[in-house]
Amino acid sequence: MKLTAKIKLLPNEEEKQALLDTLKTANAACNKISSYAWENKDFRQFNIHKGTYYSIKNSFSLSSQVIVRCIAKVADSYKLNRRTQRTFKPFKAIAYDSRIIRYKLPENSPGRRAVSIWTVNGRKTIAYVVCLHHQKLLQYQKGETDLAYIKGNFYLLATCEVPEQTPIAASDVLGVDLGLVNIVTDDTGQSFQGKELNDLRKKREKIRGSLQRKGTRGAKKVLKRISGRERTTTRIVNHTIAKKLVEKAKVEQKAICPGGEPLEELKGIRDRTNKRLRKSQKGLHNRCGSPPGSFYQLRQFIAYKAQREGIPLLFAPPAYTSQTCSGCHHVGKRNGEAFKCTNCGYNDHADTNAAKNIRSWGRTIVTRPEESTARRTALSCNYIPIVGHVCQV
């Protein structure tokens, strides 16, 4: 599976200038390539290459590999639509071919983490820092690397082809309910860090309210900083939750089944669920880094971690999971955090009850192998491939 390792470069002044010059030159080349494509109304990569390669090679001091990546980038940018001419800002990220970038890992160059990278001012060997997790990914580095300039820092986003484990033959399922109050609850009633994060959000919501009323430039600046921090916190919490869940499933040799629609259908969820929420929940709901935006991220994390560990993944359809009694399947009504069945008298925390329902749904799939392949395909609840994943440095 493809994952992305994020690396922070530590260039000195001279190296920094070289990297900036490289970005500037490459993006200027992209603009020239783009105007060729636009003027000739020819957007196929092959034709753009034929029409521009030599003139770019002669007028810009760029390596052939970088030119090829620039042409690909321009051709790509016109795929969405061809109504306007694409232009590229001077410091936009550019892609590096694996031939012009080389990672020196501590194993083969003891004591020094550095990357040898082509720039317009010659090859540079630049020191970098990387978190332990991404350092492990780097040993599988394969293919393209993006050089990005973000808020005054340089990052490399390296594509890594990480091996997957053979999926285990699970005969049981770990049902997982994703809720607004307890972010994650499994079918054993264990909940994973919901309260702290929600408390923090509520607190920030309050600060945000007073800052918005103020409306000054300084206030806006603080607002931006808060939302950035909130995204980072959510990201870390989601990574932790996903990791714990996948570990639990692995120890118990179970498949994981988070409630909710398969990943690709989640994007529109914000508009649909908003109608059903109380006013007090809406702020929590729509904020960047809050559910369901953060649910999408959490599910992505669960999906790729499960895939890497060979844990089968199913997505349970969300209908009635929180309103059905897990004891007798009578459809009742949840009352806040409590679920009480009016038919059999079963009593449980509403999220745990939902997780139990999700588990029994999942079990019908994993315990009936003769049906499972067809049903998995029909419900698109097989692995969802994750294109790229970046976590905070």
Please give the residue ranges that form the binding site for Zn ion (CB under 5 A): 325, 327-328, 330, 341, 343-344, 346
Nearer to Zn ion, 207 or 328 (CB): 328
- Nearest distance from residue 340's CB to Zn ion, in Å? 9
- Nearest distance from residue 328's CB to Zn ion, in Å? 3
* Neighbouring residues of 376: CB distance < 8 A, sequence distance ≥ 6: 314, 365, 382
* Neighbouring residues of 274: CB distance < 8 A, sequence distance ≥ 6: 282, 285, 286
- Nearest distance from residue 334's CB to Zn ion, in Å? 13
- Nearest distance from residue 188's CB to Zn ion, in Å? 19
- Nearest distance from residue 330's CB to Zn ion, in Å? 5
Nearer to Zn ion, 341 or 350 (CB): 341
**Cα 184 to Cα 241: distance, rounded to the nearest angstrom:** 8
Nearer to Zn ion, 332 or 362 (CB): 332
Nearer to Zn ion, 125 or 343 (CB): 343
Nearer to Zn ion, 165 or 343 (CB): 343
Nearer to Zn ion, 52 or 321 (CB): 321
Nearer to Zn ion, 307 or 326 (CB): 326
Token representation of residue 319? 């209908």
- Nearest distance from residue 357's CB to Zn ion, in Å? 11
**Cα 7 to Cα 130: distance, rounded to the nearest angstrom:** 5
Sheet harboring 153-161: ordered strands across?
Answer: 94-96, 141-150, 153-161, 2-9, 124-129, 114-117, 101-104
- Nearest distance from residue 329's CB to Zn ion, in Å? 7
